[in-house]
Amino acid sequence: MINSNPNRDERFFFMADEPAVGGEGASNAAPNSEAKPEQSNVDNAAQRLLKKAQDELAAARLELQNIKDAELSELERLKKSAAELESRVQASELENLRRKVAQEESVPIDAFEYLAGNDEEALRASARKLVTLIGSKAVQAAGTRTQPGTGQAPTIDDQIAAAEKSGNRALSISLKNQKMRAS
């Protein structure tokens, strides 16, 4: 059949006007039924690919987050370790300073732990006070407040002898250091 209407598309004309092999409307059902399964297969394949891509993306995001968490955990661990080491260094430096001040101020070795302060000036003041307290208490404990018969304070040599006699080695050393400084 020839298309008599110039405004009509011939493709549609022939499709609509030609009789189907299996009866009227059969030609329309067959192409549509074939197109629908093909389209359905394409849709299913696209959905499977989309689902697979989404799953891979989710797995990649999770892996990235795990890596970030591990790096952050490592960073936090290193920061904590650095802080602990800094604290140890400061404590060690203070301990060394206490020992130095104790030695310079003639604080007995077994008494330097009683020095108080966080800087050299405070430690020195504490050391002087401690030496004064230890010296006066040790002399009183040794029983030699004054020299017998004279009423005078004992000499440094007498104090050293009294400390050694009583077995107070720390006081003896401290007094000897005082004697050396006075000379």
pLDDT of residue 87: 93
Taking the alpha carbons at both ends of the chain, their separation in whole angstroms is 141
Q: What is the pLDDT of residues 91-120, one digit of tens each?
A: 999 989 988 898 888 888 778 788 888 999
Q: For Cα atoms 77, 95, 109, give the angle at the middle one, nearest 5 degrees.
A: 150
Full-model pTM: 0.39
Q: What is the pLDDT of residues 50-98, one digit of tens each?
A: 899 999 999 999 998 888 888 878 888 888 889 999 999 999 999 899 8
- Domain map (residue ranges) of the chain: 29-95, 105-182
